[in-house]
Amino acid sequence: MIKDFSVVIAGGGSTFTPGIVMMMLENSDRFPMRELKLYDNDGDRQAVLGEALEILLKEQAPDLKFSYTTDPEEAFTDVDFVMAHIRVGKYEMREQDEKIPLKYGVVGQETCGPGGIAYGMRSITGMLEIIDHMETYSPDAWMLNYSNPAAIVAEACRVMRPDSKVLNICDMPVGTLRRMSQIIDKKPDELEVSYFGLNHFGWWTSVKDKESGHEYLDEIKEYVAENGYLTQVEVDTQHMDESWQATHKKAKDLLAIEPRFLPNTYLKYYFYPDYEVGTSNAAFTRANEVMAGREKDVFTAARNIIEKGTAVDGGFHIDSHASFIVDLARAIALNAKERMLLIVENNGAIANFDDDAMVEVPCIVGSGGPEPLAQGKIPEFERALMLQQVTVEKLVVQAYIEGSYQKLWQALSLSKIVPSAGVAKELLDDLIEVNKGYWPELK
């Protein structure tokens, strides 16, 4: 008999929170909850979503105990899982992460290059705080982290909290697998993939039918070579922003560089930075798009629910694709031996890559955590790219720990996205200025 779980969502004021709460209700037969809590350090922001969700849950799950708080003890006591989607500095700082690099003709993106480094330096403190709260008040709990930038956060956890029960997972491969399944008219759970890389920096080497073992890689590549990963189903049903449509289309150019494997779409920032900068609007970046779109929509819906006193026809949308979070929690709780892509310490999973690198590979997940599956040796081209990028991530974490200006300058200079050490230094000085109060002091 499956137990009823107690869950806290860290980052309760996130625009993703309502969709994830509704997804968990949809999966209550697979993952029953006795208590759900929201935790955020911005009480006013969280209260809007908390009050609306309280109304929704009274209507849809009256037996579920629900609360929202800014008090760590209240939030983290007696929980089985911490689901973390935090954004330190919120969208206002994301806007800086995107616009400052563009000023120098460099890609401005929340997880790649200078923007990702700046966001990573802010996120480490917040992530460590949440891990420490969990270990203080619920030492047996697991944290399921899907906060960006996952690569830097995962490296910081490896170095600074090596024994903590933290699983780092990303939704990007989940979304791409969904699009692959549409291309071949299958369901995602009918497919089994092999993949190697770093977070937002990898390649699929196999997409097989779970039942028959049939390999679909060539069939999918044929479609991607013409259309990228963009499918009409997604355009029609997901209300996809134009910037995301362009991202999925660009996969065809990534496949052209390396035709053996299917690429992660984020590789476009590393291979085509000139194209990305050329098509960016420095006055209205992705952060502005989100603030004018999803953020406005979610908080407007929440205020409407509060005003009406009912969530019927309330405007919150279920985030069904986030069900991977429930899959991961179930795998841990039930020792389900589920196969999932996670960000883990390599330790030989990629035979010719550093053991201490945080890589993204298929793992078998049970009650003891993830067991990475061997992906063999990888080609020289991918190995060299990954070594450059993972070294950037390691230098960022070292810079954070040591308060080292030098190491952060080196990280920016090594990034494939940044054209020179001179530009890296100017960028760094600008980023230090806007991140005062978020970053440790650098000397």
pLDDT at 234 over 90: no
Q: Give the pLDDT confidence score for residue 243 in this predicted structure.
A: 81
How far is Cα 170 from Cα 146, in angstroms, rounded to an integer? 6
Cis status, amide bond into 259, omega within 30 of 0: no
- For range 137-142, the mean pLDDT: 98
- In this structure, of 8-22, 315-329, 333-347, 363-377, the range with the lowest mean pLDDT score is 315-329
Q: Give the pLDDT confidence score for residue 207 in this predicted structure.
A: 98
The CB density around residue 307, as the number of other CB atoms within 10 Å, is 9
Q: What is the pLDDT of residues 240-298, one digit of tens each?
A: 778 888 899 999 999 999 999 999 999 999 999 999 999 999 999 999 999 999 999 99
Q: Give the pLDDT confidence score for residue 310 in this predicted structure.
A: 97
- For range 212-219, the mean pLDDT: 98
Q: How confident is the model at residue 1 (pLDDT cuts 50, 70, 90)?
A: low
- For range 150-171, the mean pLDDT: 97
Q: What is the pLDDT of residues 7-32, one digit of tens each?
A: 999 999 999 999 999 999 999 999 99
Q: Which residues are annotated as a binding site?
A: 94, 148, 170, 200, 286
Q: Give the pLDDT confidence score for residue 242 in this predicted structure.
A: 80
How far is Cα 108 from Cα 375, in angstroms, rounded to an integer? 32
- For range 33-45, the mean pLDDT: 98
How far is Cα 122 from Cα 116, in angstroms, rounded to an integer? 10
Q: Give the pLDDT confidence score for residue 443 in this predicted structure.
A: 96
Q: Give the pLDDT confidence score for residue 232 in this predicted structure.
A: 85
Q: How confident is the model at residue 239 (pLDDT cuts 50, 70, 90)?
A: low
- Domains of the chain in sequence order: 5-169+288-372 (3.40.50.720), 173-279 (3.90.110.10)
How far is Cα 141 from Cα 125, in angstroms, rounded to an integer? 20
**Length of the chain as a residue count:** 443
Q: Give the pLDDT confidence score for residue 71 in this predicted structure.
A: 98
When the pLDDT of each residue in the chain is averaged and rounded to a whole number, the result is: 96
Instruction: Please state at what angle helix 405-414 crosses helix 380-402, rounded to 10 degrees.
Output: 160
Query: 166 has which bridge partners?
Result: 143
- For range 332-346, the mean pLDDT: 97
- For range 380-404, the mean pLDDT: 98
Asked if residue 78 lies in contact with residue 6, where contact means CB atoms within 8 angstroms, the answer is yes
Q: Give the pLDDT confidence score for residue 235 in this predicted structure.
A: 77
Query: 360 has which bridge partners?
Result: 343
Among 205, 208, 206, 244, which residue's Cα sits nearest to residue 228? 244
Q: What percent of the chain has pLDDT over 70?
A: 99
Tokens of 42: 């911005």
The catalytic site residues sit at: 171, 266
Q: Give the pLDDT confidence score for residue 402 in this predicted structure.
A: 98
Q: Give the pLDDT confidence score for residue 238 in this predicted structure.
A: 62
Q: Which residue has the tokens 């793992």?
A: 363
Tokens of 140: 């047996």
pLDDT at 178 over 70: yes
Q: Give the pLDDT confidence score for residue 405 in this predicted structure.
A: 98
- For range 207-223, the mean pLDDT: 98
Q: What percent of the chain has pLDDT over 90?
A: 94
- In this structure, of 2-6, 154-158, 211-215, 391-395, the range with the lowest mean pLDDT score is 2-6
Asked if residue 12 lies in contact with residue 20, where contact means CB atoms within 8 angstroms, the answer is no
Q: What is the DSSP letter of 321?
A: G
Query: In sequence order, what E strands does 309-412 have?
Result: 338-345, 358-366, 369-372
Q: Which residues are annotated as a binding site for Mn(2+)?
A: 170, 200
Q: What is the pLDDT of residues 96-127, one digit of tens each?
A: 999 999 999 999 999 999 999 999 999 999 99
